[in-house]
Structures are given as C-alpha cells and as structure tokens.
C-alpha cells in the first residue's frame, strides 16, 4: 500500500479531510437543531483547513495533470467544505435540521468518493474500519484488482462466502479513480 506522503500535499489534505469526517460523524450522533451555532464554531476551522490544504495542491509546484492521491482528494474536500458551510445554516429549527440532513447526504457522497482510496492510503482504510480492528487495518485491505467487477466483497471467518457469521458488502465502482 502506498503512503499518502508520496504525493505533495496529499498527506495534509488527507488528514484534514479525515478529521473533518470524524467531526461530522460526531456531530451527527449529538445533533439537535439548537446546536447549530456550536457546530458552526466547530466546523469553521475544519473548513478553513480543508480549503488551505486544497490550495496547497493548486500551488505552482504541483502539476494540474498529476493523477496522484492528492488530486483525487480535491473534489471530496470541496464537497466536504460545502457541507460544513450548509450544515449550520438556517434561521429556525426546521430549516437548520433540513440543512443538516442535506449536508449529511453530501458527507455520504464524500465517503463514497474516498472508499476507492482505501486500498492505497492506510489512513483512509482505517477510517472505514470499526474501532476494534483499526490497529489491524493492514489485514483488511482489498486490492482493487481482487475485487469482483460488481464490487461485491464477502467477509467472514470461514472461506465459504455465505457461511454463518459472514457478510457481503456491495461497493459501487468508480471509474477514473
């Protein structure tokens, strides 16, 4: 697996993006409409960090045609920053709740865009794992070429994919990543 640090700017942007996703997940667990002003304070520095790291990739020293990991993080980072901005908008409780739900859908899209990088970036792989197995993340790496064309992954303790205690996960394929 490649480390994100091999791509100029990717390490910082990857870290900023994952920190933002963790913060948003925490906010989802504790959300109620009256918390919007506190979330605005919490999300502002995260959004600024995302924007700063994204600009680093747009600097003259980084090629605009670079297919590296950093370039593949720009769109999810922009969508994440947009979600942070809209998540705390609203003059009343109802509008605040609706905007937060819309931002939640954007964050789900960010996760969908990040998942293909889990085979290349250990930090992204750890993000998608449960707390109990994060310290063993290298055991749960599925190389892209080993995935079936439909994106179906069978997991479990037994070799048989449909054995008791196993599960099947469908992950949509993203072309061009």
Please give the pLDDT value at position 115: 84
Round to whole Å and give the CA distance between 94 and 75: 29
Read off the pLDDT band of 177 (50, 70, 90): very low
Question: How many angstroms from the chain centroid is the CA of residue 174?
Answer: 14
Judge whether residue 172 has pLDDT over 70: no
Question: 110 falls in which pLDDT band (50, 70, 90)?
Answer: very high
Res 1: pLDDT: 31
Write out pLDDT tens, residues 14-53. 999 999 999 999 999 999 878 888 999 999 999 999 999 8
- The pLDDT confidence band at residue 72, using thresholds 50, 70 and 90, is confident
Query: In the predicted model, what is the mean pLDDT of residues 48-74?
Result: 74
Question: What are the start-end ranges of the H helices in the chain?
Answer: 10-30, 36-57, 69-87, 93-114, 122-127
Residue 35: is it exposed, middle or buried by C-beta count within 10 angstroms (0-12/13-18/19+)?
Answer: middle
């Amino acid at each position: 697996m490649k480390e994100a640090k091999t791509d100029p700017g990717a390490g910082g942007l990857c870290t900023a993006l994952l920190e933002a996703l963790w913060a948003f997940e925490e906010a989802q667990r504790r959300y109620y409409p009256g918390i919007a002003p506190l979330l605005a304070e919490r999300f502002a520095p995260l959004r600024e960090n995302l924007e700063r790291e994204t600009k680093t990739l747009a600097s003259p020293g980084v090629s605009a045609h670079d297919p590296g990991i950093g370039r593949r993080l720009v769109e999810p980072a922009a969508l994440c920053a947009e979600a942070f901005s809209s998540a705390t908008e609203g003059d009343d409780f109802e509008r605040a709740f609706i905007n937060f739900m819309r931002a939640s859908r954007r964050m789900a899209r960010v996760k969908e865009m990040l998942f293909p990088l889990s085979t290349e970036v250990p930090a992204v792989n750890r993000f998608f794992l449960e707390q109990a197995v994060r310290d063993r993340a290298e055991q749960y790496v599925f190389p892209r070429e080993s995935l079936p064309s439909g994106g179906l992954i069978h997991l479990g303790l037994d070799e048989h994919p449909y054995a008791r205690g196993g599960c099947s996960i469908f992950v949509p394929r993203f072309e061009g990543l």
